[in-house]
Amino acid sequence: MYFLGVDPSLNGTGLHVIDEKLRSIDYVHVKMPAKLRSGSNGGQRLKLIHSMTRDIIAEYTPVLSCIEQGAFSATSQHHSLGKAIGVCELALALEEREYIFIEPTRMKKMVTGNGRASKAVVSAYMYLNSGLVEGDTPLPDDISDAFALASVARFIWRAAHTPGAALSLYETSVVNSVVWSR
């Protein structure tokens, strides 16, 4: 049984697959080649994100995927990030896979205990839980975030499929707040 975390972005989308024991199984960093980074290549970037997302979904058929809703620091980013989220959602829908959306602060709170944790803190936590050893190359932020999102997907799936699961008030509020694809 596999879970997929998706950290969408037009510049670097992170996809991370874990199993039910939170073991890192595979990850893909869809980093845009220099020739696709200009604004005129938006369609090609979306095509690459969609293709890579569909490939990993087809290979692992996750029971639940978690897509980060996105945090916006500027109005101009809404449109671009929405496109990246949309092609990831489309890939999951076309493969008839179940998925949820979660806000970055809720993901950070679930993983680190602090909803305002920095990317460095999330990355350090996921590095420690990834099975990497000292001296290994640290995971890129997009991959660390996708790993964290996959672990949230696993938690949500288990909470939804385990009758009488003992959840804290916060965990219950997160489970009740996610947007399911059903």
Domain assignments of the chain as residue spans, ordered by start: 2-180
Hey, what amino acid is at 158? R
Domain covering 2-180: architecture: 2-Layer Sandwich (3.30)
Question: Residue 146 is which amino acid?
Answer: A
Question: What is the pTM for the complete model shown?
Answer: 0.87
Task: Single out the residue of 38, 30, 41 nearest to residue 7, CA to CA.
Answer: 30
Distance CA 67, CA 85 (A): 8
For the chain, the straight-line distance linking the first and the last C-alpha, in angstroms and rounded, comes to 19
Q: What is the pLDDT of residue 18?
A: 95
Strands laid side by side in the 12-19 sheet: 24-31, 12-19, 2-7, 64-68, 99-102, 179-180
Span 13-43, pLDDT tens digits? 999 999 998 888 999 998 877 766 666 667 8
The one-letter amino acid at 112: T
Residue 60 — φ and ψ, nearest 5°?
Answer: -110, -15
Residues of the chain with pLDDT under 70: 35-41, 71-78, 129-136, 170, 179-182
Task: Give the tokens for residue 135.
Answer: 């001296």
Tokens standing for 182? 């059903």
User: Quick one: pLDDT at residue 133?
Assistant: 57
